[in-house]
Amino acid sequence: MIDPFKKTAVIHGVSEEEVISEINKAIACAYENPTKSAKCVPCKGKIPTAEEVFNYIFDVCLGIQDIV
pTM: 0.81
In a domain, 67, yes or no: no
In a domain, 68, yes or no: no
Per-10-residue mean pLDDT of the chain, 68 residues long, equals 88 97 96 90 94 92 76
Domain extent, residue 56, equals 4-62
Q: Please count the structural domains in the chain.
A: 1
Q: What pLDDT is stored for residue 38 in this prediction?
A: 87
Q: Helix crossing, 50-62 with 16-30: angle to 10°?
A: 80
In a domain, 21, yes or no: yes
In a domain, 15, yes or no: yes
In a domain, 17, yes or no: yes
Q: What pLDDT is stored for residue 10 in this prediction?
A: 96
Q: What pLDDT is stored for residue 13 in this prediction?
A: 97
Other CB atoms within 10 Å distance of the CB of residue 19: 20
Q: What pLDDT is stored for residue 67 in this prediction?
A: 65
Q: What pLDDT is stored for residue 63 in this prediction?
A: 85
Other CB atoms within 10 Å distance of the CB of residue 67: 8
